[in-house]
Structure formats: C-alpha cells, structure tokens
Structure 1
Amino acid sequence: MTERRMPPEHPVAGPRPRPRQDLGGEPRQGTWRWVILALGLVFCSLSMVLGAAALGAYHGARDRALAMQEAAQEHYQRGLEHRQAGEWELARVEFEEALRLNPGLDEARQQLSEVLGRLAVQPTATSEARTQAVAALLAEAQALYAAGQWEEAARRLETVRSLDPDFQPDLLSELLYNTYLSAAQELEKAGRDEEALAFYGKALALRPDDPGVKAAQDRLTLYAAALSAWGRDWEEAVRLLEGLWELDPTYRDVEPRLVRALVAAGDAYRQQGGWCLAAERYARALRLRPDEAVQQKAEEAKAACARPTSTPRPTGTQAPLPAPTPEASPEATLKAAGPLPTGRILFSRYDPVRDMHEILIVPAEGGEPEVVAQEASQPAVSPDGQWLAFHSWERNRLGILIAPLAGGERQKPMRTTYLEDVQPTWSPDGKRLAFGSNRHGDRKWRVYVTWVEGREEAQELVFGEAPDWSRADGRLVFRGCGPTCEVWGLYVTDEQGAAQSLLVADPSATAPAWSPDGKWIAFMSNRDGNWELYVVGADGLGLRRLTNGPEHDGVPTWSPDGKWIAFLSHRTGAWGVYALPLEPGADVHLVTLVPGEYSDWMQEQLAWIP
C-alpha cells in the first residue's frame, strides 16, 4: 500500500528562530515569578487530569479482570457438576472456558487433564448421548442469549457447532448471526472497537451479502483507522474521516473530529510553508463548522498562497539546480529548433482561491490551458476520444464519473460511489474501466473492473493500485505485491487477474503507463533517492532511467505516436507539465506551468490524445 505523506515539494523545516524584541531593558524579577507560578499551576492541573484518566483506566482494567475471574469460577463449578453427572464432553467445555478466562486457575487445569484422560479411554459416546449433550449446550446458549450475555452465548453456540455441525443447522446459524451482531453492537457502544470488528467479521462470514452489517463494519473500520493515524499522519486521518463522514455524518464524533484533523493538517502545511495546501484544508474545515480562529488562519494562508514566492523550494542536502543555459532552461527549450509534440494533454489542478479541483486541456506544443471539467481530477479518455472518466470531487457524486469530453450532461450511467475509487483506465474496447481503491473494510488497495454501461457492481481483480490497461493486447500493469504479497513492485496480469508476473521488483515503483504499441512501460520511482522517470520493456528487460535532476519528476503518459512521454515536474520550483522526446539527447519541452497546487501529486494522472 502506498504510504501517505505530505507532498515532497513542501519539506519539513526545523523551527524558525523568533525575532528578539528589544523592550529597553531586562524583565523585572516579579514578572518572572508570576510566569513561573502560572506555569506551575498549568503543570499541576495537567498532572491532575492525566492522573485521573490513568486512575480511571486502571480501575476499568481491574474491574474487567475481576469479572473474568468470577466468570472463570462459575465455569469451573459447572464443569464439576457435569463431571459428577458423567457428562464428560460438557465438563471438558466448561473447564476449557474457565482456563480461557483465567489461565492461572490450576484446579481447572487439573480437572481438564483428568476429563481428557477419561474421554481418551472411554468408549465413543452414543449418538443419543452426544445429542443430549449438544442440546443441553444449545439450551444454555439460548438462555444466555435471552439474558443479553452475547459473548458468552456466542462461545456456547460455537461449541455446539464444533461438537455437531449438523445439529439443527438453520437454528444454530440464525442464533450465531444474531448473537455475533448483538455482541458487535454492544462492544462498539462500549468503545471496544477491535473486539467489535471481530464479531462483525464473524457475522459477515455467515451472511456476506448483508449490507447493514457491511456498512457497520466499514464505519467502525474507518473510525478505528482514523484514530490510529491521529497525530501521526494528519492527511491519512483526514482521508479516513472524510470517507466516514460521507457514509454517515452522524457517526460518533466524526464531524468535529474531521474539523480538528483538517485544521491540524492545515497547521502542518502552514509550518512547512505550504500555504496553498493549508488554505485548502482550512476552507474544508470552515465548510463543516465556522470558526473565527480558523477563518483568520484561512485568510492568512490564502493571502500567502497568492504571493508568487509562496511555494518553497526544497532545502537541505539536495544539490542545487544547475545554472540556466540555453539548453537547460525551460524558456529556451520552448524556442529550441526541432519538432514539437502534437496532440492535446489533459491534466488537473487544485485552485485554493476558489476551493476547486479542475481538469484542463492544453496543446502539446504549448499554449493556454482550458478548463474541461470542474470538481474533477485524474483524467482518462476513452479509446474513441469521446468520453472522459475522472475522479469526482462533487459532494453528492464522489467516486469515478464519466462525461462527454466535448462537454454537456453525463449520458453514460456508469459511476462509482466510493470516495476511495481513484485513477481510472479504459479497456481497449472502451466498454470497461479499471481503477484502484481501498474501499474495503480492511483498507487494503485492490484493482477493480466495472462495466461502463453500469451492468453490474465493480468486480475485484487483484490486490494492487495504479492500474493501466494496455490498448495493444488487453493486459493490465499495476503496483502490487503479487499473489503471495512477498515482493512489492510492478506486475502485469491478464483481464481476469489470473496470471500475475513480476515486471520490476521495486517497492517505490508506481504510476505505470503502457506505450501505445504495448512494448514498453514508463513509470516513476525514487529508487535512487529522488522521484524520476524510468522505462522498461514489457518483458521486464531494458530498464533505463529517463530523467535525472534534484527535483521530482513523475506521473508519466505516452503520446499517441509513442515518441514522447508527458509528465509532471517540480524542476522550476513550481509544478509544470513537460514532454520528453525518447530520442537520445533531445531537449525536454515545457508544455505549461500548472496554475494551481496539488494535495497529493503522486495521485495525479495525465492523458494525451490526438
């Protein structure tokens, strides 16, 4: 899975020294006393809060441990009763449960050993005796179910199923499902999310097509994952919480928590000098919940974003750019002799001033970009050049949509409904789309295929992301880890996902793109410490590097004639679309500078049409 991170064009900088204020003398002694006293009071208050929280957690854990010990003792006593009555199977079940709850209960361990010894030497129980034992266990489970003791009832029912799977199977399945679901809901209310997810999983194993349980599992999975990312990766927390908010804006504290995550992400970008990205995060937070302090931050970030120097250049150990020469400077390249690329290139940008994602089209030889779609990114054009598939940012139509490239209302019925569905690619016949998504509850990336005419739900193809469909032979290339998930890199598979072959063993390789003739694959990688373009043969041979500079190059796409590769680059300190001729020694051609920003440039996508 691609690691989420702040975009590399905004490096993390160390704390800046604050300017010293000359107030005309040293501070008075009394002032320092008051400051120290105030800090001491704050520290004491914080210690009391943390201490109370720790004490509460301690008492909660202690109470739960005592309850488990009492339950273990009850099971032990029941085991003794079953043993005295000669009900050896039931005695075994009770002693095992007692030890599960309290592994230190030595008397239960001794009794279990003796019961297992008796079971090993006694004749096999008659079917009537086994049926009676199983019926007794089922009756206990039903009593526990009626009492609302879901976890205990689930364990009894699972024991019944292990002893005799054919004993009243319909009733047993119904009871297990309802028990699992009730246990999951109770545990979720108690904040025991991991245990709740386990029970949701068991319920889905019995009824995989239950939309209510699947939705409940997805909501809880997103929330738990967001809590895991909280304070560690604000962009990931925002992405997860936004996905949850789209599913159910009333779930727990998702809305105020999402606002806090957006503001924290904005603050992080602000500290790095990424003003445009900070302005976008603040604007999204304000749309959910107005706040004067956030409004002030948004206005400051928007003003800084509008200044030409708002995008910082990378600093640190990176080598500086070479001095401009007539051959090296983008401006000189535009005037250089030799053939220029033909056709049109589509790319997307984010405008923080209007808070909008847009897809633009520009002549490949250079010119003024024109907007072709709003609230859209990641363009992909159908083989006949008539249709545009893209990732939609519309609040009520998140996912992947299709619209006429020439403009107008969407006519084809196909759309996906998951925020996580990204980077569409067309099949050679234009009847299907492949895309990457981590929409599933486990948040693992998968490649899906769906019909453009909306015949059925998207079908999972393989584990992976960033797919590209070859128009020459119908194969797909994608980033993944193979059938056994042992080696990360680029893989090639057929339309059914049945045969996966490793193309490039490189964990950082991503954004693969087929050449029009299906003989080559361009991709981006930071294998040498910086994001650069590479190309490799479809058979895995002939790997070579295409770019080499201190700035990032990536997201390649091929020209229709296969003689050029367009890509995004930050080589001038701002994002631009460039075209690279494949003939050795030729100049890189600046198509256009991107009039905007990217929240995650590695998720972008270009398209080149005649």
Structure 2
Amino acid sequence: MTTAHNAFSTARFRVCPNCGGRLQGDQAVCPWCRTALTDRMMAMPPSPSPSAADQNAPEQTHHTGFFSHHDAPRFWRRLFVVVGLCLALLFVLSTSLAVYQGLQDRNRQLVGEALDLYEKGRTLYEEGRYDLAAAHFREALRIWPDFETARQALKLAEAQSAQQGEPAAPLPEVQEVDALLAEAVVAYEQGDYEKAATLLERILAARPDFRSEQITALAVDAHLKAGLALVEQDLFVEALRHFDQALALDPDNPELLRQRELANTYGTGLDALAKEDFLKAADAFRRVYLLDDSYRLVTQKLAEAHRRAGDVFFKNQEWCDAAEQYRQSYTVLPDVNVLDRAQQAESNCSERVNEIPVWDLPPTPTPTDTLPTPTPLPPGDFTFVATSVTTQYDQPCVGHYIRGVVRALDEAPLPGVSVLALDPWGNVYLGTSKANPPGMYDIPVPDVEATYQVYVVNDAGIPISPMVSVTFDSTMLGTGVACYAIDWQEWEQP
C-alpha cells in the first residue's frame, strides 16, 4: 500500500485551462474540449497527494465554472442548435417581409394603372366619345374592382352611349394583346415583316395605351423592312404602301423618307423605261444615282436609258444628240460597243456641221450673249428653274467656275440653297448660295474640257430643278477667266 500510495502521491496531474477537465499522461489535446495543450502546461506542479479519506471517498465530478467538463460537448451542440434556429427564424421573417413589400408595390402599380385609365376615360367622356370612355372605365374596374368612382363613371358613359346608339366597345384583354404581341414578335424574328406589321397595327388600333412607344417603334421597323423586301422584288407600289404606313407613325424618320424617295423615283424610272420614254427614265435614274449609286440596278438602268435614247437619236440621224446620250451611258458604265457608237455619232455630227453653208451658221456668241433659257414650266416635282445661262469673260471670274444667284419666289436673294455640278466621270462639285454676297454661289471646276450637268438639289442630294448642261471647251479654257453664270429662281407649280 505504501508503494502504491507513494506512486499516486508523486504522479503529476494537469488541468485543461479552457474547460477545467483533468488530464493524464502526456496528452497534447484535451479529450473534453479538444483544446491543444502547450509545453508550459506540461510543467505544471504535481497535484497534492490525496489523503486516505480522499482515497476512500466516492469519486466526485470535477467542476470548473458553472458546468462540468463532462457536459462540454453537449453545451456546444446545444449552442449550435440555438444559433441555427435563430438564423432560420430571421430568414423566414425577412422573406415574408419581402413578399409582403412586393405585393404592396404590385397593388400600388395596379391602382396607378387604373387611375390612368380612369383619367383617359374621363377625357374621352368630355370629348363625347362615350363608347371609348366606357371601355376605359371598364378596364380600370377590371384592374381595381373596388374603384367605385370608375363604376359610377361607367354607368354614365354607357347611358350616354346608349342614347347615341353607340355600342360600348370593350378594350381587348391584356392577355389577348400580349398574345398578339408575342405572335408579332415571332413573325418579325422569322422575317415575315408584313404579318408582323399587320399584327402590330391591330394592337395600336385596339389598345393605343398599351406599351405604345415600344410597339410603335417595332411597327415602324417592320413596315420599313417589309418595304425593303418588296423593293428587292421590284414591287414598288406595295413597298410605297409600307413606307407610307411607317411614315404615318414616324413622319420625321430620315431613313424612311430616303427609302421612300428612292423607291418612288426608281419605280418612275422603270415605268418610263417600259414606255420607252428614255429621257424621262434617264432623268429619274440619275436622281436615284446621285442619292445612292448602289441602289438596286440603278447604274445599269441609267446606262441603259441613255444608250437607248442614243439609239433613237441615231436612228433619226440626230447625230449630236445621239453622241451625247452615248457618252452619258459610257460615263456611267463603260462599254466598248457604246463607245464605238458614240464615236460614230460624233463623226457624223462633225460632218453634218461642216455641211451647213456658211450663211446658215448661227452668229458666234460674244462673251455677253445669253444662251437658251430652259422652259419655265418643267415637268416633275421641281421647285427651282434656271432663269438665265450666260458665259462670262471678266476679271471677277478668275479661274473657271459655275456661278450665279439663287432667288426666292419674290425674286429676293435666297441663301442656303445647294447647287450641284456633275462631270462626265461621275465627280460631284457642290456650291451653296451665301448670305453675303446675297444669294451668290460659286463652284470651282478643273481646267479640263468637260460637259457638266447642273442641278439645284435638296439636303438629301436629290435634284429639285431641271438639268442644265454647260460645256467648258478649249476656247473657254484658253482664256483663263471663263465662267458659266446660271441663275436660279424658286418656282411654284400652278
């Protein structure tokens, strides 16, 4: 017993500083709370030797603080459970609050929509359009069934509509409109733009208050693309119908205006070509060519119109006119056969001029002679005409210019008007009338022999006057101070 007691009394015991549990041996981790033990703890002094009474007493549970070291794992488990329950409860409360807030926002939105419909209905009622007013009041009640003011207004509108013999036409349900819109979007994405445009127009007619900006923009684009698809098939009448419907929704759209002008003018050229009015066809195709030289087959059609006009002049032995038309055709689209015909016509034109007796030749124009004035009543939708075309050989005309004055209907100088000159090689020269000197424009041209076609054009580059043709020949170019003066005046068709 003595040996055993001495061994017990000299044994070294340690206590975990975290949970107070008793440790034995060289344990590096507390078996109760799993706390890592340091070397300093290994050197703790020996525990006091127990007395005989202590040895015979029943083993007591060692307490540290308010709980036993045997209860430590159970405590942490309970703590984790409590914290988890608190977090779950907090999540449920926050979710419920968000759902409630969302419902409140939705209710406020619906009430706002109902109030908007009521206000529109009241405006329609005041305008005497009782059937549409009733439809708006009815839709407001569908959204907000407790809207008593709308209910009373609906009764009044229906009564007034009945007195006028007008049936109260209900607005389509939102679900019906959504279905139409979905069908229109599918048709648009599949490239069936005509169907998409038709469906969107139905929505705008039935429910002008339903997402009007979005549907209007989509309808305009659908009409534009439907028109362009018809242009590709040379169906210009049908294309113009779509462009006009789009312009009714968006009248200031520049692309719509441009495409309509192109389609209308190109179609006019095709009609004139089919009727063998080649000069009119050439004029129409020239206007399209100046606006967009890649439009459809405008280059080929313009060359064809000039060539066939040249053939008519050639057949009638009007050699000079034939040569000019062939040259115009060759300038747009070079062709050796057309060039041969042009050279033959020019040769015949020169021979014909040489055959005229001297006494039949017109007098040689002097620098101040006035050239023939274009007809004052030109065909087509023109807003300007040339009132005089003269040559100038004086010091103010240093170099070579096409110049002149643009005047309004009342003959006052008109600034801000564009005048365009086109040379045989397709180069464009542009001048604009100035505020100072009033109404004056000037277009410098190169020092080469060439014939220029001169027009007044609008902001889109479309001619709005008849064409005036002027030629800089070797005689004029040799002077160093030679200009053409072309004066224009605003013109109003009777």
TM-score if structure 1 supplies the norm length? 0.37
TM-score if structure 2 supplies the norm length? 0.44
| Structure with higher RCO (Cα < 8 A, 6+ apart) | 1
The answer to which structure has the higher helix fraction is 2
The answer to which structure has the higher strand fraction is 1
